[in-house]
Amino acid sequence: MSGHPEADIYHRQGIGQRAGLGTRPALVIVDFQAGFADPEHFGGGNIAPAIAETVHLLAFARARHWPVAHTRVVYADDGADAGVFTRKAPTLLKLTEHSPLSQIVPELTPVKGEYVVRKQGASGFFGTALASWLTQRRADTVIVAGCTTSGCVRATVVDSMQHNFRTAVATDCVGDRALAPHAANLFDMGQKYADLMTRAEIEAAYRNG
């Protein structure tokens, strides 16, 4: 993102440094649910290719026994746990526990030992045990994939940084229903909250680990 037309002001202000990767990574996959893979519901844009890239990143993480967490937006059947978020996006209430739309896409189905985080807000950390789960597994770095880049990915990335995890966004493993918000939010996250790396760059960094 160094070629972004607004990058110079950040550079002059000393913003946009790299946090770097630690030695104990974990992978957090945000909301790759059936409803977000479907343009007729919550999907579109570049979400489908991001899922395809994440299949490879997940396989890489599993082969190295990284902690892996998947987040799902899930609401009670009667909406009893709904908040202001669903006033902005009421169709999210369709994402109940057993709705086909709320299930993690088949190609990323969690396996034994992977943590499935149910959430009602944007961040995978807010109101969940994700931070303590990562800490208990001694993770020092969170690699983030998922959707949407401008929404739940961004919120999760900000909270990951605020929990003092080194945080990297796998840029080709995140997607949004619209490409302009995707690009703008990647740029902003890269300046303030996370390191931006492609899947290949992340894998290269940890290939011998």
Q: What is the 3-state secondary structure (H, E, C) of the chain?
A: CCCCCCHHHHHHCCCCCCCCCCCCEEEEEECCEHHHHCCCCCCCCCHHHHHHHHHHHHHHHHHCCCCEEEEEECECCCCCCCCCHHHHCHHHHHCECCCHHHCECHHHCCCCCCEEEEECCCCCCCCCCHHHHHHHCCCCEEEEEEECHHHHHHHHHHHHHHCCCEEEEEEEEEECCCHHHHHHHHHHHHHHCCEEECHHHHHHHHCCC
Catalytic residue among 29, 152, 197, 202: 152
- Our answer to whether residue 152 is catalytic in this structure is yes
Catalytic residues: 152
